[in-house]
């Protein structure tokens, strides 16, 4: 009897302690790798970050405002991100609509084919496109010459380099986002569309007035997620041009990298990282608001 009572109370104790034990590995890692670093880098952005580190208040931030390189990085990042997201969303929606067409055969083939680019890492994509973009004898220029168009200095021309990279990104991500949109599209009950066509709406009219509004949440997701990643452009730029020519392809994250790990100006870099974070959060918030209004 007493043995049973003992085991039951120890059993209850174990049950009460269990959640704390289950949480603790995650909690420790989360605190060490996320919470503490986030707070620490906020503090760091108010210091010089270089040994000996002194508190300098908002000096890093005010320096950023008057830093021409920061401004270039900011403009490059914002411009490329906005264009990228707009074109990406349009392409994703169009592709999804086409793939959703009822008469389409071989859907599996098309869906698999457009997923191939996303399996290539950013670095691999950059390397392959570096090959394609080679000025003198790269495939891109060879194709252009077939069409009697003059060669383009894809990565060497300061006016073009950033857009060559955006094009590369569009190539890589369109299929993936198209499939995301397609999934959302297929969740729309067909009755709505049927009702519209019974009412005499043409295909394009029903798309415009019925499907697109219903697709709003999915499009919002595409816009917000692609924007978040677009603003963090680094890998491709660093592999291809290191931010050049000049600072034509410098983005906020490449600027952050240069300041932190080439110049060791940790405090300044931390400030850059927080400005970018605030931009990301601002954009996400605005975009969600934009897509929320009924």
Partner 1 sequence: MKSRWYTQANVYSGLLLVVLFTLAPFYWMCVSSIRPEATIFSSRLNLLPKPFTSVNYSLLFIKTEFLRWFFNSCFVSLTSTALALFFSSLAGFAFAKYTFYGKNVLFTLVLLTLSIPQFVTIIPVFQAMIALGFIDTYWALILPYSINPVAIFFMRQYINGIPSELLDYARIDGCSEFQIYWRIILPVIKPAIGATGIIIFLGSWNQYFWPLIMTRSQEMMVVPTGLASLKSEVLVEWGMLMAGSVMSTLPILVLFLICQKQFVSGLMAGSIKG
Residues in region 147-166 near partner 1 by CB under 8 A: none
> Whole-number minimum distance, CB 249 to partner 1, in Å?
16
- For partner 1, the binding residue among 122, 155, 211, 223 (CB under 8 A) is 122
> Whole-number minimum distance, CB 126 to partner 1, in Å?
8
> Whole-number minimum distance, CB 101 to partner 1, in Å?
6
Q: Which of residues 253-282 bind partner 1 (CB under 8 A)?
A: 253, 256-257, 260-261, 266, 269-270, 273-274, 276-277, 280-281
- Contact in structure between 158 and 248 (CB atoms under 8 Å): yes
User: Which residue from 270, 239, 241, 238 is spatially nearest to 254, judged by alpha carbons?
Assistant: 238
- Contact in structure between 181 and 96 (CB atoms under 8 Å): yes
Contact between 169 and partner 1 per CB under 8 A: yes
Instruction: Describe the chain by its helix, strand, coil percentages, rounded to 5.
Output: 75, 0, 25
> Whole-number minimum distance, CB 172 to partner 1, in Å?
6
> Whole-number minimum distance, CB 3 to partner 1, in Å?
14
Integer Cα distance of 132 and 141 in angstroms? 8
CA 109 to chain centre: 26
> Whole-number minimum distance, CB 85 to partner 1, in Å?
11
Query: How many residues form the binding site for partner 1 (CB under 8 A)?
Result: 94
Give the range of 54-62, 65-73, 101-109, 159-167 binding partner 1 by CB under 8 A.
101-109
Contact between 234 and partner 1 per CB under 8 A: yes
User: Which residue from 261, 255, 248 is spatially nearest to 234, judged by alpha carbons?
Assistant: 255
148's CB contacts (< 8 A; 6+ apart) are: none
What totals of helices (H) and strands (E) does the chain contain, helices first? 15, 0
Q: Which of residues 127-146 bind partner 1 (CB under 8 A)?
A: 127-132, 134, 136-139, 142-143, 146
| Cα three-residue angle 254-256-262, rounded to 5 degrees | 85
Binding characters for partner 1, 21-60, by CB under 8 A (x = yes):
-xx-xxx-xx-xxxxxxx-xx--x----x-----------
Integer Cα distance of 245 and 79 in angstroms? 17
Q: Which of residues 66-95 bind partner 1 (CB under 8 A)?
A: 95
């Amino acid at each position: 009897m007493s043995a049973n009572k003992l085991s039951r109370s120890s059993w209850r104790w174990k049950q009460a302690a269990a959640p704390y034990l289950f949480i603790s590995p995650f909690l420790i890692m989360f605190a060490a790798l996320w919470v503490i670093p986030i707070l620490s880098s906020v503090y760091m952005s108010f210091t010089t970050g270089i040994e000996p580190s002194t508190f300098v208040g908002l000096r890093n931030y005010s320096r950023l405002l008057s830093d021409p390189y920061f401004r270039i990085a900011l403009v490059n990042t914002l411009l490329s991100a906005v264009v990228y997201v707009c074109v990406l969303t349009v392409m994703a929606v169009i592709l999804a609509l086409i793939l959703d067409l009822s008469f389409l055969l071989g859907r599996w083939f098309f869906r698999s084919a457009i997923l191939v680019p996303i399996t290539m890492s950013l670095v691999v994509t950059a390397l392959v496109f570096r090959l394609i973009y080679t000025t003198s004898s790269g495939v891109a220029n060879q194709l252009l010459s077939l069409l009697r168009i003059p060669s383009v200095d894809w990565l060497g021309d300061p006016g073009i380099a950033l857009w060559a990279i955006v094009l590369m990104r569009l190539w890589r991500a369109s299929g993936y986002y198209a499939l995301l949109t397609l999934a959302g599209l297929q969740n729309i009950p067909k009755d709505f569309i049927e009702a519209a066509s019974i009412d005499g709406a043409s295909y394009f009219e029903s798309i415009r007035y019925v499907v697109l509004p219903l697709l709003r949440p999915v499009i919002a997701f595409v816009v917000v997620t692609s924007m978040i990643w677009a603003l963090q452009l680094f890998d491709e730029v660093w592999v291809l041009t290191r931010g050049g020519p000049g600072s034509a392809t410098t983005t906020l994250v490449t600027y952050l990298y240069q300041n932190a790990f080439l110049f060791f100006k940790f405090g300044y870099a931390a400030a850059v990282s927080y400005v970018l974070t605030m931009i990301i959060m601002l954009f996400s918030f605005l975009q969600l608001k934009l897509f929320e209004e009924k």
